[in-house]
Structures are given as C-alpha cells and as structure tokens.
A and B are shown apart, each in its own frame.
Chain A
Amino acid sequence: MVALAPTAGPPSAPWREPSALPGFSLAFGFTLFYLGLMVVLPLAALAAKPWEHGVAGFFEVVTAPRTLAALRLSFLAAAAAAAANVALGLLTAWVLSRYDFPGRRIADALVDLPFALPTAVAGIALAALYGPNGWIGEALAHLGVKVAYTPLGVFVALLAVGLPFVVRTLQPVLEDLDAAWEEAAVTLGAGRWTIFARIIAPVLAPALIAGFALAFARGAGEYGSVIFIAGNMPMVSEIAPLVIVTKLEGYDYAGAAAVGVAMVVISMVALAVTNGAQIALARRTRR
C-alpha cells in the first residue's frame, strides 16, 4: 500500500484503466480508508491480543485437544454443508431461474429468509423441529437418527444458513446464460449431458466456487443458529466460536483471541485455495 501511494495521484498511472468517470483519487482513497477501518484495523487488534503468554502460550491454546476438536468440527461441518448447498443450491437456482410456475416469486423470496432471520431465531426453530419431540426429530428418532444435540445438528443448521449464499451467487449467472447456446448445441447434435458438461458447467463453475466459499466462510464462523441445536458437548459437538465465548466468560481475553486468530488463518487459507481454483478455472474457460 505504502509503495503504491506516490503513484496513486497522477491520472497517467500505468496500472490504471483510463475511465470517463472523474473522482478516482477520492474514491480510491475512501476505499482504502474504509477497508482499513472495517477490516484491517479490527483484524490487527485481534492479532495483537493473543501474545500475553508468548508464542508458546498461543500454541498451547490453539493445539489443546478441545480447541482442535472444535476447530475440526466448525470447519468440517462448514465444508460439508457448503458442498451440500452447492448441489442443492444449484438445483434451487436452476428451478427458480429456468422455469415459470405458480408461486415462483414467493419461492424466490423464501430463499432470502435465512439472510433476514436473526440467526438465533433460526437456531431455536431448527432445535424445535429436529429435537426428539419435534416433527422431524421424532420421525428420525424412529429410524435411529439423532440430529439435534449431535454434530449432525451443526451440519443441518449450517445447511439452512448457507443456502441463500449459493442460490444468490448462481442465479444471475444462470439468468444470463443465453438459451441460444444450448439450442445451438442441440442443432449440432449434442446430448443433454454434453450440453451440461461442456456449456453450462464451465460457465457456472466460478459462481459455484464463489457460492461455496461464501457459504463455507459464513458457516465456519456461525454461532447464533448453531448453539441451540449443537448440544455443545466439549470434544463432540462444541463449535470453535463457542470455545471463544467460553474463554471470554472466564476473562481469558488472550486465549479467546488465540482461537480467533487460528480461525482467521484457516479461513484465509481456505479462501485463498478457492480463489486460486476460481482463477485457474477462468483461465481454462478463456482458452
């Protein structure tokens, strides 16, 4: 950032696309300031906290069996739920953007509900539904499946929370996908599977990955909807954000920040991998 600053002023900067709109310097400066205030500063404050007991203290907290179990649960459940949402979300987005049916607009609006619902409300509703005396929970209990108060409950909560991220990322891409391409493919003798694999999938892939990344990142940090249905048993169904809250309850600010930093690092690595995949895919599609 600092290295760039001297070149930011003149409009002839070589790294800048010429634009008809004025006010670049102001907008650029504001963007940097806003990102700094909203993202970099809080993260820096977090990163400064966990070193009260030195580097060894940090690693002691982060590698404790209970912390590791919680991190594993949070990130694995988030990945599994995001993957499931990619499949289910693709189907939902496909139906919503390709077909016209009575109540389509209502169904479309329902997708946004998990966005709008306070997460605690979603959690209580899910716990009531999947609890041993809830509608679904009671039926599943006959089959010997327990959802509420098990790690499976975490997965179900993240499934509900993550769905709109995938659907809303895919929908505009699907709507922009010109049916003429598919029609052209049909005239050239392509089967349905070929059309999907060679035309639709390559166009959708970047959006699918972006949707996965959004749902995954949101799921890993999700607290409100999960704690009501997880059971919160240490080593079994305790999510990483709850470990943070628990440490804060014990006035252990450094320990809480250590787990927070670990979550940020894992999330950043995961996002870097998905972004890398997206870039690689974009290159392949362009070829």
Chain B
Amino acid sequence: MAVSGAAALAAPALARAAPAPATLLNVSYDPTRELYKDYNALFAADWLRRTGQSVHINQSHDGSGKQARAVVDGLAADVVTLALAYDIDQIAARGLIAPNWQSRLPFNSSPYTSTIVFLVRKGNPKRIHDWLDLVKPGVQIVTPNPKTSGGARWAYLAALAFARRHNGGDENRGLGFVRGVYKNVPVLDTGSRGATTTFVQRGIGDVLLGWENEALLAIDEAGPGKLEVVRPSMSILAEPPVSVVDKVVDKKGVRPLATAYLRGLYSEAAQDLAARRHYRPRSATVAARYVAKFPPLDLVSIASFGGWGRAQARHFADGGSFDKIYQPR
C-alpha cells in the first residue's frame, strides 16, 4: 500500500498500473471445499476485471469448531465461513470479530443454507419416510457426534424440533424421542464426512442423518441407483454463516477486499454455484431454477431454540441433554 502511494506521488502516469497482488485466507469447514474452490476462481476473475488487482485466495477446511479454535488461537483468517453461528460467536467473544457480525450481511450473514435430511440405501428397504420411522426397532442410524460436529448439532436439533411439535410443544417429551433416535446409533463419528464414509463405504446402518448437501454429494460420488435422499415432513433451516475477521483484515488493510469477497457470495453467479454444489441458494430466481433439486420443506430456525447460545448450553455443553442420553442410569 505504502509503495503504491509513493509511486502515485512520484509518477502520476504510473498510478494506474496494477496494484500489488493480494491474498486472502478463507477458513471454512469440511464440506465446503468444492464450493469455495469454484467460488474463489469466480471471485478472483471478477475482482481482477473490476479493480485490476489480482487476488489469490487460500482455503482451509476442517471441523467447524476446530477451525474456530484455530482462529481464536491465532490463525490469521481474513474471513471465516463456518457451519454454525455459535462457532463465529466464539471468535467474536474473544474480540476478533465485532459482536454485531451476524447483522452485517443479508440473511443472518448466511449466503446459502442447507437442511437435515435422511440418506437411505437403494429402494429404501427399511421404509424410512419420516422421523418416527427412525425409532422403529431394528433401524440403525449413522450420524456424527453433536459434540464434535456442527452438522450433527443441526441434526440433533432437527430431530428435537420434530419431536417437540409431535408432542404438542413439550420439549422434555421431545427429548425422549431424541434419546430413542440416538439409542439406534451404533457409531458416532467425529465429523460429517466420517459419518458419510461409515454409511456409504463401510455399509453400516440403514439411514444416514445429516446435511442435505452432504447427502446429495454422496449420491454423486456413489453413482446412480445406490442411495436415495428422503426428506422428512419437517426439518431445520441450517444457516452456515460467514464473516470477516475484523482484527485481521484491519491489520492487513484488506477489509474492502474481504468484504467484497463475502458480498459476492450473494451474487447470482455465486448463488448458482452454491446450488450446483448442493447448497440451497438464497436468491429467489436461482432457487426457482433448482426447485426440483431442493423441494420446499417445512423448516424451523435456530431462533425457535432461543439462538445458538441457549441451544449450546442446554443440549451440547457438558451435562447437557445430549450427554444425558449416554449417562448410566
């Protein structure tokens, strides 16, 4: 920056030369790898065309909670694109991101969404069509551990949302149903991708409970006629949010670039990319094009659980409702 300023003073004719190349680090969670590979290329080309600056975006992927901790511990992420708001809240709680981060971008700072669905084997041999079918005797469910996986937390809350409604809004009776679901889980993987591997490659279980984007990807990978998606009567609106990391972008002086990078996720082209990579787009026009791929569902939001802070404390913290399932009685 200082160099280009000096050049502008010394030789005005050179001021219009290309600015120094910039780099961004996008710290994200596991299943977004392919999406951001595509989007980074799209954004870099667009940015170069608009500003003349070439930009290289590095991406890092791992479990959402682990990535948030890495940023807290000093990983210099310019932007974070994680699985749930709770993880970004944790970074904000340590002063790296402004407390109001989720209201800075449209749609709760979540440019794409997903939901929790069932993935079953060809022909749906156990006839699993809705949540109640999960607690039938002899049904084995594969889903990751909510304590270590963001997607699994969404899945747990989706089951609870159904059970609450099924029990006339009684959350405690709803938790009894959720307990029944997890009693049918023979393997708790630590992350979503691990659970998919257990279900698809190892052949464990009758139904995989997890991200819609992961289920659609698994169908792509397995080839036609091996797996089917079952969408239950209701589920949860999973909003994977994004934010710039204020402390880092201000120090590096890349706030305009980082902000443009995240805003670009809401563009029609990026929304189309997201839809192709199995995320539900926010844009109504793009959603209309993909309505067959993403049929409208009855979805409840995290707000119905009092937000992530309350949901985390009540269900996933040590001694929370999830731990109680496995406590010896």
Contact = CB atoms under 8 A, between A and B. Distances in A.
| Count class of interface residues, chain B | 20 to 34
B204 interface: yes
Interface in B197-213: 201-204
Interface stretch (A34-42, A111-119, A244-252): A244-252
| Count class of interface residues, chain A | 20 to 34
Contacts of A148: 202
Given A233-B187, A249-B148, A65 B327 contact: yes
Interface stretch (A23-31, A128-136, A262-270): A128-136
A262 B328 CA distance: 22
Contacts of A231: 186-188
B63 A149 contact: no
A246 B147 contact: yes
Contact of A232 (B69, B190, B317): B190
B186 A149 contact: yes
Interface in B288-329: 316-318, 323, 326-328
Interface in A233-286: 233-235, 242, 245-252, 255
Given A131-B202, A131-B203, A149-B187, A251 B69 contact: yes
B159 to A, nearest CB: 18
Contacts, number: 66
A133 B203 CA distance: 6
Nearest to B186: A149
B145 interface: yes
B69 to A, nearest CB: 7
Interface string A147-165: 0110000000000000000
Contact of B317 (A131, A235, A248, A250): A250
Interface of A: 65-66, 127-128, 131-134, 148-149, 227-228, 231-235, 242, 245-252, 255
22 contacts: A65-B327, A131-B202, A133-B202, A133-B203, A231-B186, A231-B187, A232-B189, A233-B187, A233-B326, A234-B188, A235-B326, A246-B145, A246-B147, A249-B65, A249-B66, A249-B148, A250-B147, A250-B317, A250-B318, A251-B65, A251-B90, A255-B318
Interface of B: 63, 65-66, 69, 90, 145, 147-148, 185-190, 194, 201-204, 316-318, 323, 326-328
